[in-house]
Amino acid sequence: MSRLTAINPSTATGKSKELLDAVKGKLGLVPNMTKVMANAPAVLEGYLAFSGALGHGLLDAQTRERLALVTAQQNQCDYCLSAHSAIGKMVGLKPEELIESREGRGGSERTTAALTFAKRVLESKGQITDADLAAVRAAGYSDGEVAEIIAHVALNVLTNYFNIATGVDIDFPRVSFAEVA
C-alpha cells in the first residue's frame, strides 16, 4: 500500500486536477505513480515536463524503454520494471528483449553500448571515466545522444526512488527485479 495518498483524479482540485486530467488525456489512464506525485503538483509537473521533453529527443522509443528497464533493474524498482515492461511491449520490444535490457544487453552492439554506459553512470553515480565515454561514442552515439542517455538515467532514478520511497501500488502487470539475476 502506498505510503503517501494517491490523489483521486475525480476529486482532485486545482493544479493537481489539471495535471492528472492531462495525464489521462495523453495516456487514457492515470497511473498510480502520477496520482501519488499529484500530492505535490510541482513534482508531477516537473516529471511530466522532463519526460515529455526527452520523449521528443534523439533517442527512439525502444532505446528509451530499454534505458528505463536497465535503470529500474539496477535500482530494484518493481513499479518501474512493471510499467516499463508494459510500455516496452507497446513500443515493440519482445519479451526476451525486455529481459536483455534489464541485464544491460541490447539487440545490437550499439544498444548494448548505451545500456552499458547507463549502468556505468548509475554505478559510478555519474563519475564516469574517459574510457566509458569513449566506448559509447565508439558505438556511434553523438554528444547529444550521450547527454540524453544521462538524462534518461536521471529521470528514471527520480521515478525509481519516488516509487520505492513512497511504496506506490503497482498498477501494471507485476514484474520483479528479483526475477532476473
Categorize the per-residue pLDDT at 140 as very low, low, confident or very high, splitting at 50, 70 and 90.
very high
Mean of pLDDT over the chain: 97
Helical segments of the chain, H only: 14-27, 32-37, 41-55, 61-75, 78-90, 95-103, 109-123, 130-138, 143-166
Please, what is the angle between helix 143-166 and helix 78-90, to 10°? 130
Buried b (16+ CB within 10 A) or exposed e, 84-100: bbbbbeeeebeeebbbb
How far, in Å, CA of 23 to CA of 29, rounded? 7
At 79 the pLDDT is 98
Q: Structure pTM?
A: 0.96
Spell out the domains of the chain, with CATH numbers in brackets: 14-55 (no CATH), 61-179 (1.20.1290.10)
Q: Which amino acid is at 65?
A: E
Q: Give tens-digit pLDDT for 74-90.
A: 999 999 999 999 999 99
Q: How far apart are CA 42 and CA 57, in angstroms?
A: 23
Distance CA 124, CA 20 (A): 35
d(CA 87, CA 68): 10
CB 38 within 8 A of CB 20: yes
